[in-house]
Amino acid sequence: MHRTGTAGKLFDAFNFAILALLAVITLYPFWDTLIVSVIPLDEYLGASIHLFPKSLTFGAYRYLFSMKELWTSYGVTIFVTVAGTALSMLLTVMAAYALSQRQLKGGRVIMFLLVFTMMFSGGIIPTYLVVKNLGLMNTVWALIIPSAVNTYNLIVMRNFFFTLPEGLIDAARIDGCHDWGVLFKIVVPLSMPAISTITLFYAVSRWNEFFNAIFFISDKNLWPLQLFLRSMLFENESSYSGGGDSLFLLGPSIKMATVMAATIPVMLVYPFFQKYFASGVMIGGVKE
């Protein structure tokens, strides 16, 4: 381990370079997009590769923030993220805790039924019909309820609960705590790493909500951010009217500004959670 000859040093240098390159390749597309969103059109057209902006303009952002549609879709997405994540966490934590209790009869059968849904599904069309029959079409709930519980997250959560010392829960029971007390006063506070991680997973997938919206939402007033972004990126004939600069003059920068508006919130939240990923929370998902 500690004897590194010339070959070892060479390998280390090479390894360092490769990994650094991977990190750069990962970040560069974001950087380039950010640059394009803040440089004037002539600079964009003039340079072939823009590593740093020569001059800054926030015209694209001004135009974007003047669009009513942006704020509507932000509103939908923020609601779906907050309400959806809260609902998902509540259902997931309660079910995972109940299923982690060894004395629960029928627990194994129920677990099998849940895991089976990962292997086999009826397909999207029958799900679509269920959502339709429940009268959820074109409601914000269609973005929340159909993906309320993610089986993988539930399994990770349950496996984490298994690692908690059993004696603790038994002691609490003897002290007269009932199941709700045990769960919310003892188990949840002890499981913060797992809960943070799973919360992030749910929140990000809500923020990125696209699949359900494509299937269940046709009303533009209920478009989440991702659908608004898609229309900005891929619809040539934009029916939007903002204030100030014309769309044509803004060119690609308006598109990239919209991309940034959807990306930056994720980037801001991500560092606070990522320290938990390595803490062994993930291992739970592999077992079973």
Partner 1 sequence: MSTAESEIRAQAAKPVPRQSSGKQSAFWRYLWFHRHLYLMLAPALLFYLVFHYIPMYGAVVAFKDFSITKGILGSDWAGLKHFNYLFSQDKFWEVIGNTVVISLYRLVFGFPTPLVVALLLNEVRVKLFKRTVQTVIYLPHFISWVILGGLLINLLSTDNGVINNMIKSFGGAPVGFMSDEAYFRGTLVVSMIWKEFGWNTIIYMAALAGINPQLYEAAVIDGAGRWQRLLHVTLPLIRSTVVLLLILRLGGIMEAGFEQIFVLYHPGVYSVADIIDTYVYRIGLTEGRFSMAAAVGLFKSLINFALLVLANRLARMMGEKGVY
Which amino acid makes up residue 29? Answer: P
The Cα–Cα gap between 22 and 71 comes to 35
Look-up of token digits 């001059």: 55
Tell me how far, at minimum, the Cβ of 244 lies from partner 1, in Å: 22
Q: Is the Cβ of residue 79 or residue 162 nearer to partner 1 in the bound state?
A: 162
Tell me how far, at minimum, the Cβ of 239 lies from partner 1, in Å: 19
Look-up of token digits 């062994």: 280
Q: Which of 239, 243, 242 is nearest to 231 (CA)?
A: 239
Interacting residues with partner 1 between 98 and 157 (CB under 8 A)? 98-105, 107-108, 110, 113-115, 117, 119-130, 133-134, 145-146, 148-149, 154
Per-residue contact flags (x/-) with partner 1 for residues 158 to 197, judged by CB under 8 A: -x--x---------------xxx--x--------------
Contact flag: residue 10 with partner 1 (CB under 8 A)? no
Task: Give the total of residues touching partner 1 (CB under 8 A).
Answer: 102
CA angle 198, 191, 178 (to 5 degrees): 115
Among 49, 109, 174, 268, binds partner 1 (CB under 8 A): 49
Per-residue contact flags (x/-) with partner 1 for residues 16 to 35, judged by CB under 8 A: x-xxx-xx-xxx-xx-xx--
Tell me how far, at minimum, the Cβ of 126 lies from partner 1, in Å: 3
Cβ atoms 94, 88 nearer than 8 A: no
Q: Is 137 left (phi over 0), alpha (psi -120 to 50) or beta?
A: beta
Tell me how far, at minimum, the Cβ of 34 lies from partner 1, in Å: 10
Among 61, 207, 223, 276, binds partner 1 (CB under 8 A): 207
- 253 in helix, strand or coil? helix
The Cα–Cα gap between 64 and 66 comes to 5
Interacting residues with partner 1 between 225 and 284 (CB under 8 A)? 226, 229-230, 233-234, 252, 255-256, 258-259, 262-263, 266-267, 270-271, 274, 277-278, 280, 282-283
Q: Which of 165, 170, 176, 163 is nearest to 279 (CA)?
A: 163
Q: Is the Cβ of residue 99 or residue 242 nearer to partner 1 in the bound state?
A: 99
Burial (Cβ within 10 Å: 0-12, 13-18, ≥19) of residue 202: buried
CA dihedral 220, 226, 86, 195 (to 10 degrees): 170
Tell me how far, at minimum, the Cβ of 193 lies from partner 1, in Å: 14
Tell me how far, at minimum, the Cβ of 204 lies from partner 1, in Å: 5
Tell me how far, at minimum, the Cβ of 192 lies from partner 1, in Å: 19
